[in-house]
Structure 1
Amino acid sequence: MVFDSTAGLGAPSPLPTALVTGATRGIGRAIAEDLGRTHHVILAGRDQGALDALAATLPSASTWAVELAGEEPLDGFLENVPDSGLDVVVHSAGIEAGATVEETDRVTWRQVLEVNVVAVAEVTRLALPALRRAEGTVILINSGSGFASNPGGSVYAASKFALRAFADALREEERGNGVRVSSVHPGRTDSDMQRALVAKQGGTYDTDFYLAAQDVADAVRLVVDLPGNAVAESVSVRPLRKA
């Protein structure tokens, strides 16, 4: 479904095009709303109703309801990509699960790696021809856990280390094609995922010590708006205050 408040339902958009996964909540939503000021945004997520509601608030948007885990094709976004190509892909969808190594079974390992790494690789692979046409930018929302792991965090950190390695390889493979690849590593960010993590750890949730989702969206905007001859290879964003 396509929403264009300036030209009518279903009208083609003259704007550059951005795909944002995990677009209905938290960091992904903030990124989608921010990019929506200047781009036609393909909103990807699991809940069609939530996608439609968000799309209706943006100047130009289309939706892609998708379950990233499993064996279903992950090419549904392509029907909303114009002939000119895909200018931005932001991989924001992700899950956090697992406990200690002793307590985590292989089903959990597979689930986290499937969403946080395998689906990212597949969507990117499918998007590459369109990204090359537009000399676009791939942005992978990583984490501080992509640099270091803590007890009880091996599953999530392993997925984020893998995501960083994927970004590093893709960046060099696509440099000659004009495609920029950036890893954005937010610190602790106020979100549903963060609340669940703090609850699991038995801690106290204090937003004074967390980034806002918009802070991460601002970092993504910085990456997108760099001149085409420059790439922010890795951006680390941390809360100013420490608990």
Structure 2
Amino acid sequence: MISLTNLKKMDVKREGGFTLLELLIVIAIIAILSIALVFMLNPAETLKKARDAQRISDLKSVKTALGIMLTASSTPSLDNFGAICTTSTTAAGVTSSNAAPKIKYSANVTPTLGGTLTAGSDSAFTPWVSTSGSPAGAAAGKVDGTGWIPVNLKALTGGTPISSFPVDPINTIGTTATASDLVYRYGCQNGTTAGVGAGKPAYVFEMNAVLESNAYTVDDAKMANDGGDNTDKYESGNSLNLLPLTGALF
């Protein structure tokens, strides 16, 4: 028979804290919830999604800035009167073909292209055979025509639409380009005439980025549904049919 004294002792022990079994149960529940939370949040995927959102925003900003330049300038040039685009047009309006137009990269590497790259249907030149890397460091973002996108926004009356040209959040590429390199790409075409790029659009540009998150490549397949001709890339610009087609290693 349990005495009143023994019952009091049991109550004191109960009031003193959790039993070992109760502590083990609580720890197990916390562990299960922690694992479930990691799977739900997926930090790696969250970071990829954030980078993809930045890429989409970056390309939109550059598209807007170059569009303003083309509209506001009486003598526009998408390569600062260089030999980057498929065609060159001087300030006096003389247009000629470029023998080796270049795909520009936002990384400080000039890679070899991974094969023969058939250009999109808007291009006055095919195939793409040459590349050009970015200046190093902060110089890559310059908007005076010397940055990785060779367009001089400082020549515009009223100031530049953006303060710098953005680069990819990862921004790495090897010595030989691949379709999955996390880097921005830029291609352009200045004027066209009956003798140079006949029937092709004038003053067009295209930028590409590779998206990496499931949110933007599977759930919302932006690279496949951006309206362009390359499902390996997220395409932006006033032409989505200038740079190489799906499967091209660039």
Instruction: Tell me the TM-score range normalised by the shorter chain.
Output: under 0.3
Q: Which protein, 1 or 2, shows the higher relative CO under an 8 Å CA cutoff with sep ≥ 6? A: 2
Q: Normalization by structure 1: what TM-score?
A: 0.24
**Larger fraction in helix:** 1
